[in-house]
Structure 1
């Protein structure tokens, strides 16, 4: 049994839960990294650590105090190098008839939503409905569109054009260095202008923006280790100064970088 669902074979689940909403809260989360799917809508809150969600052609970073909403039947898998991952999952059988619930969303959980989620943890793994649980969780579910201030920068696009894969792999591995656009073009076997145009068409962002995004995501991983100062992290991910790193980080995360206490 995983998250209250019975796994009949790798990645395939049978839903024997009788309640409309099910809560699963777990510290030091250990999840299989293979793709899986289920019929329930899923809200995941990362209380500590971070997780990557691989969904279709995108990878979504869900840092600490963020949530991700995943529609029913959406194939996904998770990965993380965080030392500790504390998660809460809420699985819903039915949701309101709004477009919001049919799409993937990642956003920072405001204080009121975090408190609601932590309060709901008292129903973790309970199969009974209960009037308070039913009313409380339904109110939270209906409030999600109003809490959502989505940060699309937490999405790592994966191009479908195979010529761009070596380029992405090179940036993912050498993000701390300033890349030479002509060498990236050689990897893709196309001109510089074609590379820039096709990469933007395929991913929705420029090569420079992609590199910035990878650097910030790597900095989040380094901050989670609690082994470096912010100045050291700035240098490790390729920034010449802490101020430059802080500005770049804030533009992506909408808040300044902070080390774990």
Structure 2
């Protein structure tokens, strides 16, 4: 007989399916050196995940969301997702909510940088890590944080990596993902997709919401975040590794995506 596993406070009765035995409306789980299963799972609670250190990819439907250090992701109830990360260390805080205000915000996925006030609130909430007993302060505090999320959200849509449904475009995305350190003419991608340049540009934008060139830029910046996390390279080395001819060009591109300049981790 298979033993039940407790993960994030929820009991996994079968692979990726959870039973909620947590009595509190909101539950906090903080863990260093996070090791999460990489298969899809779902639960009935709404999920707020804060990445304190490292980075994590969330694969949800036809999109992959990168959540870098000091960012949060909001995932609605019952939304199937899986996570991956090659970061050396991933420190996460997860807050699971049974009920949320009746606002559209809470029914959609959001990824955004945690402003200072939210980081301080999450840091304070660590005092309730894995606490199952009802606590009046905990209830009021977490409810206030939950209600404030729409006002904290300054969403970065470029942290979403679109996956096209058109099978002709998947080889193009795979090629970019494997060769992001090189520069290619658009004709190369058109040949891979076996279509004209004009058709490729039109269909790619229609399927993903961004151009092929923007997709290339996005992948390069996301890969640079992974390289920064390793603490093995200078920014100039990383710039060259992800396909930029100079550090200023890389910095400008990074800022366009992340709204902040790249910095090495201490």
Partner-residue secondary structure (3-state), 1:146: helix
Q: Which runs of 4+ in 1 moved over 4 A?
A: none
One of 48, 58, 74 as aligned partner of 1:53: 58
Q: Report the more deviating stretch, 60-69 or 176-185.
A: 176-185
**TM-fit CA distance, 1:180:** 2.3
Query: What is the CA distance between 1:221 and its match in structure 2?
Result: 0.2
- 2:13 maps to what in 1? 8
Secondary structure of 2:169's aligned partner = helix
Aligned to 1:102: 107
Aligned with 1:258: secondary structure? Answer: coil
Mapped to 2, the partners of 1:189 and 1:248 lie a distance apart of: 29
**How far apart are the structure 2 equivalents of 1:205 and 1:111?**
31
Q: Any stretches of 5+ residues in structure 2 without a counterpart?
A: 1-5
| Whole-angstrom CA distance in 2 between matches of 1:51 and 1:123 | 23
Aligned length in residues: 261
State the distance in 2 between where 1:117 and 1:47 align: 10
| Partner of residue 38 from structure 2, selected from 26, 29, 33 | 33
Of 191, 199, 205, the match for 2:196: 191
| TM-score, normalised relative to structure 1 | 0.99
Residue 56 of structure 1, CA deviation: 0.6
Which residue is equivalent to 1:67?
72
Q: Does 1:216 pair with 2:218?
A: no
Residue 3 (structure 2) aligns with: none
How far has the Cα of 1:181 moved from its partner? 1.5
TM superposition shift of 1:187: 1.3
Determine which of 219, 229, 251 is the counterpart of 2:256: 251
Q: Distance in 1 between matches of 2:193 and 2:219?
A: 19
The CA distance in 1 between the partners of 2:87 and 2:31, in whole Å, is 15
* 1:162-241 equivalences in 2 (<5 Å): 162-241=167-246
Residue 162 (structure 1) shift: 0.4
> Which blocks of at least 5 consecutive residues in structure 1 are unaligned?
none
Q: 1:19 aligns with which of 16, 19, 24?
A: 24
1:113 and 2:118 equivalent? Answer: yes
Q: Secondary structure at the match of 2:213?
A: helix
* RMSD across aligned positions (CA): 0.5
Separation of aligned partners in 2, 1:82 and 1:37:
23
Q: Matches of 2:147 and 2:188 in 1, distance apart?
A: 50
